[in-house]
Amino acid sequence: MAINRRRDYQLIEEIVSEGARVLDLGCGEGDLLLALKRYRRVKGYGIEVKEEKVASCVEKGLEVHHGDLESLVGIYPNDSFDYVILSRTIQEIRNPQHVLREIVRIGRQAIVSFPNFAHWKIRFHLMFKGTAPKNPALPYEWYNSPNVHYLSIKDFYKFCASHGIEVLRAEFFTGYSKVSFWPNFFAEEALFLIKRAE
């Protein structure tokens, strides 16, 4: 069975240590969890709200709970997991402040990836076309987009600094190409490894 090899998934596989306990919030059809189990031998769990995606995970032999991650994330004790993952999910949840606080509480470390809404193509699209932008990372119309929060790389750094969250690693990319220069403008996506500040 082929596994989706998104760039953020590849980076997450590099970060997660062998045999770690992992919770994937908004795990979709389980592609990332399956890859982590295969390549890193993790003890992996997921939470997914869509029943058909949970069924797909179960068919793959994954342990995934059906429910709203915003409600369920609060049931876990401190440091229950080595890593808690939010992969392209933070922009779709109603209360990201609550979820981000919880993931650094229940995970020794957390991994967050998201589309950068300050990317130059999005800025130019709004400026010159005056309509909600679409691209491969954001393929939706304004009326059917699951995205309810539009954040940038700069926004995420600012949030971490003001909420007692330490950034351990940050990766910026467009497609499979790394972006080093002025990422808030040039990177389409970002991935952060974070933890509670000491």
The DSSP line for 74-134 is GGSPTT-EEEEEEES-GGGSS-HHHHHHHHHHHEEEEEEEEE-TT-HHHHHHHHHT-S---
State residue 152 phi and psi, 5-degree precision: -115, 170
pLDDT of residue 1: 53
pLDDT of residue 2: 54
Instruction: Judge whether 27 and 89 are in contact, CB under 8 Å.
Output: no
Q: Minimum mean pLDDT among 2-6, 18-22, 126-130, 166-170: which range?
A: 2-6
Say which CATH superfamily domain 7-117+150-196 falls into: Vaccinia Virus protein VP39 (3.40.50.150)
First-last CA distance in the chain: 42
pLDDT of residue 146: 83
0.75 surpassed by pTM: yes
pLDDT of residue 103: 98
